[in-house]
Structure formats: structure tokens, C-alpha cells
Amino acid sequence: MTETETLTDDTRYRAVDSRDARFDGVFFTAVRSTGIYCRPSCPAVTPKRVNCTFYPTAAAAQGAGYRACRRCRPDSVPGSPEWNHRADLVGRAMRLIGDGVVDREGVSGLADRLGYSARQVQRQLSAELGAGPIALARAQRAQTARLLLQTTQLPVTEIAFAAGFSSVRQFNDTVREVYDRTPSGLRAEANGHRPGTATAGQIGLRLAYRGALDSDHLLDFLALRAVPGVEEVVTDGASGVRTYRRTLALPYGHAVAEVDGLAPGERPDRGWLDCRLQLTDLRDLTTAVHRLRALFDLDADPGAVDGQLGADPVLGELVRSRPGVRSPGHVDPHELAVRAVLGQQVTVAAARTLAGRLAEKYGAPLAEPSGGLRLLFPTAAALAGAAPEDLAMPDARKRALRGLCAALADGTVRLDGGVDREEAAAELLALPGIGPWTVGYLRMRALADPDVFLPSDIGVKHGLLRLGHPGDPKSAAVAGAAWAPWRSYAVHRLWASLTPPVGENPPKGKRGKTVDGASGSGSA
């Protein structure tokens, strides 16, 4: 059985019987004889087939009256990979719910962002996922509450509101229903088993993923593009573990986030990355976690991606030698849009330097620096009014940057997870100075589209040439057709084949341009 196989109840049961962790988060198993629901890889004795009911979401299992298994903690699984690649209403809604939109704006706010009525959204989600937006958001709030109860010493009342509940009573009732424990009992259950942080606003957690994960690729990619003062990659001298650190602008405040890569020699399928968050407002926890997961592409299905690309005659050897390469997203689509324009026709280093200067001039400073982190990246509104002399780029690109920032600031162009990707691409292309490369790059990273190809990109060209394949845009597009629906991952494979570890010099293209996939050779 493979992850791409159409799932029936029989194939789901086979996954449960074999404790196949690849399906954690794809579906949940509810057991009538015990009244609990589990992840497919739960180590408990496999239930009889007749007692099993399968649900697409934890919220659906909870709505049917089942409580979460204490042994396998089904609320801590990676998200379904469907929400990465689906562009329909349900996929868009799930991305917004994951970002906390229902908690902040209600179902009406979710519906407005999606361009549908609240009734249509409720009907579609209920029909396909077995739960509406309120139930899905409630399940997410329960997970956040458990995390805060078991990793901090915050008072229960503070946790209730930080997790997004409107009242302590609602919080207590939900925790009892989902976990069959009082909040104090849930906290006591974790004592001595999980490390906790004792101060408000500092959270230690694990970010789960499925399959293999090449954290070196992710950290190399992010380190090469790290904006000074906003993000950095540091290495622990004793363990050799590299850590990505950055500031986050969030709905209620800001945060400093740290995510550790895997230790040298550690198995790529360990299943989680260690993360630490320092939040100015705990209500931002769910949103911060969701955005970091998107940045590291932790809900992906590497079995499906590597299975297809690994069978390709052009990419196969790259995939077999380096499993688990992800397609990084971003924590802030507006920031990424700015940086994409800054990267048009220049080297990565030049774009990073210019982004750092703009951050110094227009970014908000942290009250207290944290290591090398001092700034929040400037907002689109701030950069829309940037002085021309602060933009060290050709006049056409200045106009493109300011026009893009104005469109993002006033909502003419949206890049959140709920937008229709085709509509967003058309709106971007209508802006002066925004061409196909920039739009493709934003679709791939800001909108988490797994099937974007950049045939005119210089990194794609040189990656194909290195593999003995013609690198001109037409030949590249022909080769890329075989890599659908995972062409974004193919692009990263080609870029990674050219990018040595940070600290070494990447190869050069014409006129000294760095060949690492960050130059927008196809953009206007």
C-alpha cells in the first residue's frame, strides 16, 4: 500500500494493523469498544475491524463522541498533506482555520475571506470532513490548551483564553470531552514526562512531520537568504545542531521562534523537530505554530513526492541520494512578496543585503534583542511609502515594489492561505513589474502550491545542465511536465544540487550571478 493509493476503509485498516505512521494525520481511527480515537500508528493492540470507524479529522471523531487516546496523542500528528496541495474551497478553508482565522474573525470572517456564504462553507466542510468550521477550530483550541497545560505553569484561566476559548466553562467542558480529563488532571498527567517551561510566554514544543526530512536542505536554504536582524541560523558548538531563529509578526503581538534541525548523523525519519517560541501574547501560539509548519513544509507527504520523482530518469539519482527534501513556505506572504521583488535579476546576497537595509530603516525594533535578532520585517504599508532614496534598485523595480506593497496593504492583492491561487496569480501579473518568475515563486512559497515550475530560472537551468539535460526554458518545461503534481519539489531538488553548504561558494552563472535558484531571471 502506498500513500497515493485511494483509501478505502479496508486499506485504512491495513494501515492501522501495520501501525503505518505515514498515515498519521491523514485519517483517525475511532474504536467503538473503547470510545477512543487514535492515530493509525498507535502502539496499542490493534482493534477488531468490526469495531473501527474511520474519520478524516479529529474534530469529526470528537463530534461522534470519541475522546483522544492518551497513549498515541492523536492531536499531535502532522496535518493532512491534502491541505498543502488542494486548491478548492475545503483546502483553502482548512489553511485559514489552521492559521486561527475562525478564532479571530468567526465563521463569517472565514466565509468572507473565501468568498462564499457561511452556510456554503459549513455545508461543504461538514459533507467532506464530518465537521464544520466551529468544530474544526474547537479541536485546534483543545490541542493548544493541552500544549499550554503540559509545557507551562500558567494559571488555567490564562490558558483558557490564550487557547482561544471564550469562557473558562467552555474550556473546561471541551478538555473533559476531548481528553476525558479535567485541565488539572491533564497537567498532572504530564508531570515528569515532558519538559516544561516555567515562565509565561516561553513555550517548548515538538513540530511533528511524517516520513523523511532533510533538515540540512531547509537550513541551508534559509541561511542563504536570512535577512540580518530578522532571521539567522546558528550552530551549537557542542552538538553540531543548527537552529533557525527569526522574529514573527503575529495578529496579537510578535514572537521569537527557534527551530532545531536534526543532529549530525540523526535519522531523517525521527518524526519531529524541536521548537521554542517566546510570545508577547499567548493567543498567537496556534498561528505561530501553523506558520512555522508551513515554513518547514512539515505536513508534506515525502513518500508520495519522492516516490514519483525518484522514478524519473532525470531526477531519480538526486532523490535516492537525498530523501525528504521539502519545499519551504514562509511565515509572512507579504514579506516574501517584498523579498521576491528585491531578488529580481540580482544575486541572493545582494537581495539579502537590500532587505536588511530596509528592515533597519522601516522595521519595528524588538523591545529587547535576542541574539542577532533585533527587528520585525517592515510591513507592506510601511514600504509602500518608502523614500525612493532608500530603494537601491532601478526605477522600474522601485515602482514595482511600491506598487506591490500598496496593493498588499489595501487588500487589492491577497496572499493568505484562503485565496484562489489562479486569481491571486492574475492579480499579481496585472501589477507593473511583476512577471511570471515572481508570480511562480510566490505561488510556490507564499501560497504553498506544490506544483510550480520555473523554466526560465537560472538555477533550474544550471541544475538541468549538470544532470546532462538541456536547460533552455522550452526543454526545461518539457522535462518538468513529467514531475507534476510535485514540480515545486523538483525545483528545490535542482536548486539543492547546485547549492553547497552555507559557508562554501556556490557556482557562478553568467556575469557572476549566483546559481542557487534565487535570481528571478524570468521576471519582468
Phi, psi for 162 (deg, rounded to 5): -65, -35
Quick one: cell of 185? 488532571
- Considering only CA atoms, which of 452, 437, 341 is closest in space to residue 394? 341
DSSP for residue 156 = H
Annotated active-site residue 405? The verdict is no
DSSP for residue 56 = S
Would you call 406 helix, strand, or coil by DSSP? helix
Which of 332, 449, 457, 516 is an active site residue?
A: 457
Quick one: cell of 191? 508531570
Quick one: cell of 117? 456564504
In 352-497, at which residue ranges do the beta strands (DSSP E only) sit?
365-370, 373-375
SS (H, E, C) 249-309: ECCCCEEEEEEECCCCCCCCCCCEEEEEEEECCHHHHHHHHHHHHHHHCCCCCHHHHHHHH
Q: How far apart are CA 346 and CA 172, in angstroms?
A: 55
Q: Enumerate the β-bridge partners of residue 110.
A: none
Would you call 459 helix, strand, or coil by DSSP? helix
95: exposed, middle or buried (C-beta count within 10 Å: 0-12, 13-18, 19+)? buried
CB hemisphere CA count around 20 (13 angstroms):
16
End-to-end CA distance of the chain: 45
Which of 24, 38, 220, 306 is an active site residue?
A: 38
DSSP for residue 7 = P
Per the CB < 8 A criterion, the answer to whether 338 and 404 are in contact is yes
Q: How far apart are CA 31 and CA 48, in angstroms?
A: 9
Per the CB < 8 A criterion, the answer to whether 379 and 358 are in contact is no
Q: How far apart are CA 104 and CA 429, in angstroms?
A: 31
Per the CB < 8 A criterion, the answer to whether 235 and 219 are in contact is no
Q: How far apart are CA 225 and CA 373, in angstroms?
A: 15
DSSP for residue 430 = T
Return the sign of the alpha-carbon dihedral for residues 409, 410, 413, 417.
positive
Q: How far apart are CA 462 and CA 449, in angstroms?
A: 23
Place of cell 537595509: 357
- Considering only CA atoms, which of 71, 55, 64 is closest in space to residue 35? 64
* Element holding 365 (H helix, E strand): strand 365-370
Distances (CA, A) of 304 to 82, 326, 458: 12, 12, 27
Per the CB < 8 A criterion, the answer to whether 25 and 210 are in contact is yes
Which residues are part of the catalytic machinery?
A: 38, 457
